Chain A
Amino acid sequence: MSRLRDSVPPDEVGTTTVATGADAVATPPAAPPRRRRFRTHLLVFIAPAAAIYTVFMVYPLLDSLRLSMFAPSDGGQVFVGFDNFVHLLTDDLLASAFWNAVWNNLVFFAVHFFVQNPIGLLLAALLAGPALKGRATYQALLFIPTTLSVVIVGFIWQLIISPIWGFVDTPLLGQSSTALVTLALMSVWQYIGIPMILFYAVLISIPDELTEAARVDGAGGWSTFWRVKFPLLLPTVGVVSVVTYVANMNAFDLIYTVKGALAGPDFASDIMGTFFFRTFFGFQLQEGSSTMGATVATMMFLLILAGVLLYFYGWQRRVESYQL
């Protein structure tokens, strides 16, 4: 935000002087006060993007928020205030399913956090090494899984760890104790390219003078990495983590592909996305409900908001960013 605000005034100055010049050429003597003139091109530039974004993203989001306060009645809908939320959090069946999904989702994220950061960092550090041969090839090969669809990733791993093929004897996806972590690791396997590239981008942007200075001061390679480079990477660890958290909180495709909407065994791999899908569209005995679906979506929004706020106040403010 501050970045935006800081950089606007110079533009303003530039545009104003120039536009005046242009006006002077077009209508020399009696140019009307520029500020009053309606600038059509502004509307032409901004309106299409703003309109599509508003109609197909902002409006549906607000409409979902609104629907979470309504309940179906005689073909129409009536306002019920926070009743849906009370129902979601107190109904025996619904509340336990909801908290199970929240907990599983947090575990799903924790696996990402603790596995993708160290591996991504290690790979990025190796790739950013001086005089590494075949860097572009490595980058491309390591990034390939990220280009695949989650559906394909789910099935590839399902086949590979299937006891039928026999590489793995335990049915990792069939046991409640291992299903969720196995799924999370599949997801990490797929997306590791993203933290890797982001860390790599920071590492190559660190000026040589910094590492040179450390070396002159007597720091070895190991301590140069931890004392000089790692602090510069911390803001990116935060960004990667918050982006992963948001993505995990509305993950759905992988679990749905591998375990179906029921997220078995016995809901052991049920996360917010699959819970939302079942609540909205219904499954087996439970009837789907758009208002309860909207309620779950609103709760997902609040969970995401909580995570993002935690990041802003708990991480970003404490971790110093350096302008390189």
Chain B
Amino acid sequence: MNAVNTPTRGVAVGPTARRPLRARAGTAVPHVILLTYVVVACGPIALIVMNAFKSRQAIFDEPFAIPTPDTFDVSGFQTVFERAQFELYFLNSFIVTVSTIFLVLLLGSMAAFALAEYRFAGITALSLYMALGIMIPIRLGTVGILDLMVRIGLVNSLFGLVLVYTAMGLPLAVFVLTMFFKQVPGDLKDAARIDGASEYRVYRIAAPLVRPGLAAIGVYTMLPIWNDLWFPLILTPGESARTVTLGAQLFLGQFVTDWNAVLAVLTLAALPMMALFIIFSRQFIRGLTSGAIK
């Protein structure tokens, strides 16, 4: 830590920090840099959310001011709910994301359990085959996917999206969970088997022990799906199966000049994931960190 601060110690510390001991400056510098970057990271979002609740006049006159009773205005939100079915879009996104996470975690952990637990002919080839999908972006197969969806009649269907996203999430899930399953103590599984447990039962005993891996994969799977624009744009452009991201994109395109409405949509679309993230941020970060170390 000191490594980074030492040379800048005298330079970056403002007059406020000069009075205390020099050692205290060493602990202040990281905070100064981190806080500056927090402003860079969160400032723009705060600016958008704040201005979404202000009148058009106030948005342009005093963009940095917090909404006051004088400038408070939610006409943007009214426009949004009158002109677009955001409740439906939210529901669609929710259904797609939750179903996909469920399938990826269930099917991924089952396959990972088998790959970690048993020895059989072709296991190396199968592991490699499943792992290939980690590096190859599924978007490259879009032409084939659209073709397939048209043939099996899953265009404009949430189920079609779930299948594509599940296929997209499985390779990493299988790869990471296999490593987690290998660390489950063998004695535990052996004990269960000696007690007459079936292999399915052994899986159900082992699965809760890889919870950190499941959490990490859940996070990895959730964000790109909720936020994806590509597949909703191509597979479910219709109104009934529209997701929040696509709904917001189309709405924003139409109402570019209505700043109140634009700010309102941005706030609406950003808040759920942000709220979820803020509530579970510790688990989120821990999951990502432990996933990274694997």
Is B one of A's binding partners?
yes
* Cβ-defined contact, A300 with B262, below 8 A: no
For residue A151, which residues in chain B have a CB less than 8 angstroms away from its CB? Answer: 227, 229, 245, 248-249, 252, 269
Residue pairs across A and B with Cβ atoms less than 8 A apart, 5 shown, are A53-B133, A55-B163, A143-B284, A247-B137, A300-B140
Q: Interface on B for A, CB 8 Å cutoff?
A: 1-7, 27, 30-31, 33-34, 37-38, 40-42, 44-45, 47-48, 60, 63, 103, 107-108, 110-111, 113-120, 123-124, 126-130, 132-133, 135-148, 163-164, 166-168, 170-171, 174, 178, 182, 186, 189-190, 193-194, 196, 198-200, 203, 223, 226-230, 233, 244-245, 248-249, 252, 259, 262-263, 266, 269-270, 273-274, 277-278, 281-282, 284-285, 288-290, 292-293
User: Which of B34, B41, B171, B193 interacts with A53 by CB under 8 Å?
Assistant: B171
A273-B139, A297-B140 known; A18+B42 contact, CB < 8 A: no
Q: A18-B190, A129-B1 known; A59 and B148 CB under 8 Å?
A: yes
Question: Looking across the interface, which residue of chain A has its beta carbon closest to that of B289?
Answer: A201
Main secondary structure of the interface of A (DSSP, over half): helix
A48 close to B (CB within 8 Å): yes
Beta-carbon contact of A155 and B47 below 8 Å: no
A-B pairs, 10 with minimum CB distance: A60-B144, A129-B1, A225-B3, A221-B2, A63-B144, A149-B227, A60-B141, A56-B167, A140-B281, A45-B114
Chain A stretch 161-207: residues in CB contact (< 8 A) with chain B: 164-167, 189, 192, 197-198, 200-202, 204-205
In the complex, chain B residues whose CB is within 8 Å of the CB of A46 = 110-111, 114-115, 126
**B143, B227, B290, B292: the one within 8 Å of A293 (CB):** B143
- Residues of chain A within 8 A of B110, CB atoms compared: 44-46, 48-49
Contact assessment for A64 and B141 in the assembled complex, using a CB-CB cutoff below 8 Å = yes
Q: Contact check: which of A139, A140, A160 meets B44 at CB < 8 Å?
A: A160
Kindly state the separation between the CA atoms of A28 and B41 in the bound complex, as whole angstroms.
Answer: 66
CB distance from A29 to the nearest CB of B (A): 18
Chain A: residues with Cβ within 8 Å of the partner, total of 112
In the complex, the chain A residue whose C-beta lies closest to that of B168 is A57
- Give the Cβ gap from B145 to chain A, nearest Cβ, in Å: 4
Residues of A within 8 A of B248 (CB): 149, 151-152
**Residue with the greatest number of chain B CB neighbours at <10 A, chosen from A4, A8, A160:** A4
